Chains A and B, each alone.
Chain A
Amino acid sequence: VTTVEPGCLPGGDGLPATAAAARGRVRALLAARLGAAPSSDARVPLEPPAVVDVLLVTSELVTNAIRHAGGLTGFAASVEGDLVSLDVSDASCSLPATDDASLDLFRPGGFGWPLVCKVAEDVRITRQPGGGKTIHVRVRLP
């Protein structure tokens, strides 16, 4: 199992402040897992399709936590076999919207959750005892 949590990678002190920072951590994790040299240069396109899906899910979950769920309170990513696990915690007990009304291309973030469910192997949500929730998502690599 290869895992990255706050403080485990260069630039990984604390929680990622932005979705871009979270993607950077996942990129580094996957680069190590897939045997490629990690690049800190986001302009270097290195992602095969399955890695792209992991980054899309990371981006959506972290963006939603920061913008709509009271802030990011936890972030962890790991790889075991061909499954990438993402655990993203936020301060809100509200569950992501799952109805068709959320599928609004003109509202930022309005359609990301259904698509997370579409590309993920499985999705679970656990409520935190002190408030908030953690979204656990697994995405399969090819």
Chain B
Amino acid sequence: MSDEVDAGTAPERTRTAAGAAEEGGAMTVVHLSRVPFADWSLLHVPVTARRRPARAGVPALRGPLGEPVPRPFDVTGTAGLFTIAYTCGRPPGHGTSERARRGGTP
């Protein structure tokens, strides 16, 4: 993904993520490193992908993530629903949280 994610752009991204999930891969990875800002519409993207068949696995959100992008997940308490890799070099860990990103225990 690139550019901002909001109610105007989220539906197309949601369809793309859902389509990827339906292809049956082991995991759906949403690359967000080029997304500078996302409002709460971003939540629909991995949530919709997560509703797809279990074979698609838990969606993963891949960074590096700027400060704005994880914020909707932090505020809503939904960060634990997904695998979030805040940096490209860091192995994704399920349920990585704001605390983990700041150096705490995942």
Contacts and interface: CB of A to CB of B under 8 A. Distances in A.
A67 B39 CA distance: 15
Interface in B38-55: 39-41, 43-44, 47-48, 51
A60 B75 CA distance: 14
Contacts of B41: 63, 108
Given A42-B36, A42-B37, A106 B67 contact: no
B47 A105 contact: yes
Contact of A106 (B3, B47, B76): B47
A4 B48 CA distance: 37
Interface of A: 18-20, 23, 42-45, 47-49, 52-53, 55-56, 59-60, 63, 67, 105-106, 108-109, 111-112, 115, 118-119
B87 to A, nearest CB: 14
A19 B6 contact: yes
Interface string B12-35: 000000000000000000000010
B8 A115 contact: no
B71 A52 contact: yes
B76 A111 contact: yes
Nearest to A108: B7
A90 to B, nearest CB: 15
Contacts of A48: 67
A56 B42 CA distance: 11
A36 to B, nearest CB: 14
B44 A106 contact: yes
Pick the 6 closest A-B CB pairs, nearest first: A45-B66, A59-B39, A45-B36, A52-B68, A63-B7, A105-B47
Contacts of A106: 44, 47-48, 51
